């Protein structure tokens, strides 16, 4: 639930920050997940996030402009973890489905509660994990299928693929 990243998939910018800043941001990300488990995202306030993460509002605003910016970062963080597996399924060397499944299981083991919680939040845009995963699946499939599937049916095929995956 701490939204931990494997070293090879971690955010480079995050690794260059002071350890205290990384720990504070991790606490705030976890606070968002905890707050969203207690009540719907629309009803979660910055104060709720701060209480759950044990940081002050000032500290929160030192790192994020609002709760939507935090949500977008958390979703982006998880997409960076998941996208390599989706790409590996189509473009990976040997396209080993077991390796893809292991990667996704590892992501789930580290971030399972966050994934479950965030998939239930449907706000649209950058903060909507379901929508972002859908777009990523469509994009990955389209890149793979271009030249293999007729251009007229490619959008429909990508839509079907993404719908089945999700």
What b/e sequence results for 25-51 when a residue is b if at least 16 CB atoms lie within 10 Å of its CB, and e otherwise? bbbbbbbbbbbbeeeebeebebebbbe
Average pLDDT, the chain: 85
For the domain spanning 7-165, the CATH number is 1.10.357.10
Mean pLDDT calculated for residue range 49-68: 96
pLDDT tens digits, one per residue of 60-85? 999 999 999 999 999 998 998 888 87
Domain boundaries in the chain? Answer: 7-165
pLDDT tens digits, one per residue of 3-16? 544 444 345 556 67
pLDDT tens digits, one per residue of 111-134? 888 999 999 999 988 888 999 989
pLDDT at 141: 86
pLDDT at 67: 96
């Amino acid at each position: 639930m701490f939204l931990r990243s494997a070293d090879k998939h971690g955010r480079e910018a995050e690794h260059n920050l002071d350890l205290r800043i990384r720990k504070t941001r991790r606490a705030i990300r976890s606070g968002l997940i905890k707050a969203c488990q207690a009540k719907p995202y629309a009803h979660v306030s910055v104060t709720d996030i701060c209480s759950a993460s044990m940081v002050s509002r000032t500290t929160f605003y030192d790192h994020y402009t609002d709760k939507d910016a935090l949500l977008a970062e958390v979703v982006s963080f998880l997409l960076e973890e998941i996208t390599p597996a989706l790409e590996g399924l189509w473009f990976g060397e040997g396209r080993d489905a077991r390796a893809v499944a292991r990667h996704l299981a590892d992501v789930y083991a580290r971030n399972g509660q966050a994934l479950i919680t965030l998939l239930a939040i449907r706000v649209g845009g950058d903060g909507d994990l379901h929508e972002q995963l859908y777009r990523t699946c469509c994009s990955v499939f389209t890149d793979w299928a271009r030249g293999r599937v007729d251009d007229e049916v490619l959008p429909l095929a990508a839509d079907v693929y993404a719908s089945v995956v999700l």
